């Protein structure tokens, strides 16, 4: 090399440092996804003296480092996408499937599965674009309709290191599970035709705008990409859990109680299925929350840990409440508590450390226990599988507590050194969270009510009483879950 | 000929069956049934909703016996099915008019 001595090596070190710094952006569903453009020219005072060959070598290194990071991030994000799909089928399908009476087992599982197919197709046609195209305040655009322009290149607005295709398919899995959660409230009495039509419309009218408002560029509530009311929602407390949970409540009220409820016993037909389902949900949630870092970085680890701790704490607190109340800790209570904790930590996962995660879990377990055992009985609505009691309530608690516990040491979303949550010294964030929660509540309430009216006119929403008594498996699908004679 | 119906605890069924085989009883019909006598049911709680389960699972044995065997069988069942707690079940005996083996139309005790 012609370049002489220390001068050359110094500039090389400086440049490598710059490359490495530039190549490690903190990206997340909600973080300032700073542009990943490298700045190879910024640091060198000796540019003219560097021979071409060194520049070329550096450019090559820069490319290699980026490629390596992209590979790592992409691997984790593809696994995460698969994990989130696993939450719907088999996770949620088994969890809900076990909770219904045996005559409705296939019907409830089929609703989840139908959404896996239906939302996927809708997502490819317009769904992704409505959520993540354009930069409107309320809803996306048709920019990416038919997945136009969605390919191997990253979309730097959202995830600068992975192919946009990966980001697209990862987000799809969220859009699948969210409407599937609602079926917990409509279980055992809603028509299959009405369910499919309602949830397809719900995805377009409620989910897509909310997802854009909270996560989309320019969205009203987006905390990192120019929102008016920066609402912290790392992995879907408002978008997924409040939206589905509140809509579930509206559905339960609109449909009315199941025939015989609450006098006739309607115990879960197989807690074994529910148990397996809940455990699959717990594992899948690592993809849901830690994957929401949108990269294989330390923020993903932090979210992973927070997720796990909150689930454990909530399983304990629900069980403890039950033990005190009934003198026993039940398996159904423990798994319900874990799910409640997972719901509540979802918006907070990428903003809090392990100790706040434990606190959020402990609170969520007790509050959700109280919601499904006391509040439901007081008001008398028939939220059959407690979609509102767990997701609506847990999501609301989680969203508000995110405003309390979010820490800038975990995720400096408002800029380095700026307080994020209340305990950080930014109590205004609780107000922002409240705005986000209220908007999500109102949006879900009104949207669901209007859609139910429309669907009721088109296909009807509730099965006739004799079909309900015979069971939805036979009357809606012409088959039985358990053919014991065959 | 006597017909014997015994309602017993499911947990005692295997012992009863083995003991009956030892004294030479070869045929019986067994049904899983639900019911209750003086034994109260129990309460189950699912997410705060209480269900009283008063029909409990039991096993019903049915067999038709030649008169000479009835006492031995009853003694055997009493000995093996008893746990001493409420819920052990009951034995019912009734007279049977006729028995016919379908395969060869044998009648009476020969058909048993």
* Contact check, Cβ <8 Å, B48/A268: no
Nearest Cα neighbor of A257 from A376, A367, A340, A108 is A376
Q: What is the DSSP letter of A87?
A: I
Q: Which residue of A has its CA nearest to B53?
A: A265
Say how many residues make up chain A. Answer: 486
Report if residue A11 sits inside a domain. no
More confident residue, B81 or A47: B81
Rounded to an integer, the average pLDDT of A455-479 is 96
How many domains does chain B fold into?
1
Residue B8's domain is classified under what CATH number? 3.30.70.120
- Closest by Cβ to B45, choosing from A326, A374, A377: A326
- pLDDT band at residue A87, thresholds of 50, 70 and 90? very high
Check if the beta carbon of residue A220 is closer than 8 Å to that of residue A227: yes
* Contact check, Cβ <8 Å, B44/A267: yes
Q: What residue numbers bound the domain in which A234 lies?
A: 75-477
- Residues of chain A neighbouring B44 (CB-CB closer than 8 A): 267
Report if residue A376 sits inside a domain. yes
**Would the pLDDT of A36 be above 90?**
no
Structure tokens at B50: 């209480």
**Would the pLDDT of A22 be above 60?**
no
* Alpha carbon distance, N-terminus to C-terminus of chain A: 81
* Contact check, Cβ <8 Å, B47/A372: yes
**Residue A372 at interface with chain B, using a CB cutoff of 8 Å:** yes
Mean pLDDT, chain A, as a whole number? 91
**Would the pLDDT of B85 be above 90?**
no
- pLDDT band at residue A223, thresholds of 50, 70 and 90? confident
The tens digit of pLDDT for each residue in B35-54 reads 888 777 788 899 988 888 88
- ipTM value for the complex: 0.76
Whole-prediction pTM:
0.84
Report if residue A348 sits inside a domain. yes
- pLDDT of the residue at A39: 46
Tell me the CA distances in angstroms from A136 to A130, A227, A407, one per residue in order: 10, 10, 29
Tell me which of A49-58, A148-157, A427-436 is least confident.
A49-58
**Would the pLDDT of A28 be above 60?**
no
| φ and ψ of A261, to 5 deg | -80, 140
Nearest Cα neighbor of A348 from A27, A30, A26 is A30
Report if residue A30 sits inside a domain. no
Q: Which residue of A has its CA nearest to B52?
A: A265
**Would the pLDDT of A189 be above 90?**
yes
- pLDDT of the residue at B39: 72
| φ and ψ of A328, to 5 deg | -145, 155
Structure tokens at A168: 């697209």
Report if residue A31 sits inside a domain. no
Nearest Cα neighbor of A161 from A23, A301, A30 is A23
What's A342-360 look like in SS3? HHHHCCCCCCCCHHHHHHH
Structure tokens at A245: 């949970």
Q: What is the DSSP letter of A258?
A: P
- pLDDT of the residue at A395: 97
Q: Which of residues 169-228 of A touch B (CB under 8 A)?
A: none
* Alpha carbon distance, N-terminus to C-terminus of chain B: 9
- pLDDT of the residue at B55: 87
Spell A220-250 as b/e; 16+ CB within 10 A means b. bbbbbbebebbbbbbbbbbbbbbbbbbbbbb
The tens digit of pLDDT for each residue in A103-132 reads 999 999 999 999 999 999 999 999 999 999
Q: Are strands B56-65 and B49-53 parallel, antiparallel or unpaired?
A: unpaired
- Residues of chain B neighbouring A328 (CB-CB closer than 8 A): 45
Rounded to an integer, the average pLDDT of A149-154 is 96
How many domains does chain A fold into?
1
CA dihedral sign, ordered A47, A48, A49, A50: positive
**Would the pLDDT of A30 be above 70?**
no
Structure tokens at A382: 């028939």
**Residue A417 at interface with chain B, using a CB cutoff of 8 Å:** no
Report if residue A24 sits inside a domain. no
**Would the pLDDT of A197 be above 60?**
yes
The tens digit of pLDDT for each residue in A335-366 reads 999 999 999 999 999 999 999 999 999 999 99
Report if residue A252 sits inside a domain. yes
Q: How many CB atoms lie within 10 A of CB A2?
A: 8
Report if residue A2 sits inside a domain. no
Q: What residue numbers bound the domain in which B59 lies?
A: 2-111
- pLDDT of the residue at A27: 45
Q: Above pLDDT 90, what percent of chain A?
A: 86
**Residue A260 at interface with chain B, using a CB cutoff of 8 Å:** no
**Would the pLDDT of A370 be above 60?**
yes
Residue A302's domain is classified under what CATH number? 1.10.3430.10
């Amino acid at each position: 090399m012609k370049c002489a001595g220390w001068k050359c090596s110094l500039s090389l070190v400086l440049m490598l440092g710059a490359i490495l710094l530039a190549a490690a952006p903190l990206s997340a569903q909600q973080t300032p996804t700073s542009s990943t453009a490298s700045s190879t020219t910024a640091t060198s005072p000796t540019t003219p003296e560097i021979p071409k060959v060194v520049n070329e070598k550096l450019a090559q290194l820069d490319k290699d480092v980026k490629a390596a990071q992209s590979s790592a991030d992409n691997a984790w994000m593809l696994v995460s996408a698969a994990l989130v799909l696993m939450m719907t089928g088999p996770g949620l399908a088994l969890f809900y499937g076990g909770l219904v009476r045996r005559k409705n087992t296939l019907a409830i599982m089929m609703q989840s599965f139908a959404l896996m197919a239906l939302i996927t197709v809708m997502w490819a046609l317009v769904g992704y674009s409505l959520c993540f195209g354009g930069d409107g305040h309320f809803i996306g655009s048709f920019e990416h309709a038919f997945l136009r322009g969605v390919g191997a290149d990253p979309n730097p607005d959202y995830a600068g290191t992975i192919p946009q295709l990966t980001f697209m398919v990862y987000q799809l899995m969220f859009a699948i599970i969210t409407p599937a959660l609602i079926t917990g409230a409509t279980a055992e009495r809603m028509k299959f035709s009405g369910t499919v039509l309602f949830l397809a419309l719900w995805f377009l009218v409620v989910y897509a705008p909310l997802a854009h408002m909270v996560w989309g560029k320019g969205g009203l509530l987006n905390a990192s990409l120019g929102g008016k009311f920066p609402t912290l929602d790392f992995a879907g407390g408002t978008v997924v859990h409040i939206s589905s949970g509140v809509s579930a409540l509206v559905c339960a009220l609109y449909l009315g109680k199941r025939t015989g409820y609450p006098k006739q016993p309607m115990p879960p037909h197989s807690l074994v299925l529910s148990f397996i389902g809940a455990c699959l949900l717990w594992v899948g949630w690592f993809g849901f929350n830690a994957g929401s870092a949108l990269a294989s970085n330390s923020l993903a680890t932090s979210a992973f840990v927070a997720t796990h701790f909150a689930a454990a704490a909530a399983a304990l607190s629900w069980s403890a409440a039950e033990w005190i109340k009934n003198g026993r800790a039940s398996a159904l209570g423990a798994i319900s508590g874990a799910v409640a904790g997972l719901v509540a930590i979802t918006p907070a996962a990428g903003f809090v450390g392990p100790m706040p995660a434990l606190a959020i879990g402990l609170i969520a377990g007790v509050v959700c226990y109280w919601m499904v055992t006391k509040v439901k009985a007081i008001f008398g609505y028939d939220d059959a599988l407690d979609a509102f009691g767990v997701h609506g309530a847990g999501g609301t608690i989680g969203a508000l507590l995110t405003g309390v516990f979010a820490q800038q040491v975990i995720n400096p979303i408002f800029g380095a050194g700026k307080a994020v949550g209340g305990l950080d010294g930014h109590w205004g964030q609780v107000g922002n969270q409240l705005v986000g929660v209220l908007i999500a509540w109102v949006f879900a309430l009104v949207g669901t009510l209007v859609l139910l009216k429309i669907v009721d006119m088109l296909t009807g929403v509730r099965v006739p009483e004799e079909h309900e008594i015979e069971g939805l498996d036979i009357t809606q699908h012409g088959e039985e879950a358990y053919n014991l004679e065959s | 000929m006597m017909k014997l119906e015994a309602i017993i605890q499911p947990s005692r069924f295997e012992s009863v069956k083995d003991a009956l085989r030892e004294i030479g009883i070869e045929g019986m019909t067994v049904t899983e049934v639900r019911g209750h006598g003086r034994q109260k049911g129990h309460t189950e709680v699912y997410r705060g909703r209480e269900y009283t389960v008063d029909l409990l699972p039991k096993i019903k044995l049915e067999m038709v016996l030649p008169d000479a065997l009835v006492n031995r069988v009853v003694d055997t069942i009493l000995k093996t099915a008893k746990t001493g707690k409420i819920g052990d079940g009951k034995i019912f005996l009734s007279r049977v008019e006729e028995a016919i083996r379908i395969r060869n139309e044998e009648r009476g005790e020969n058909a048993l």
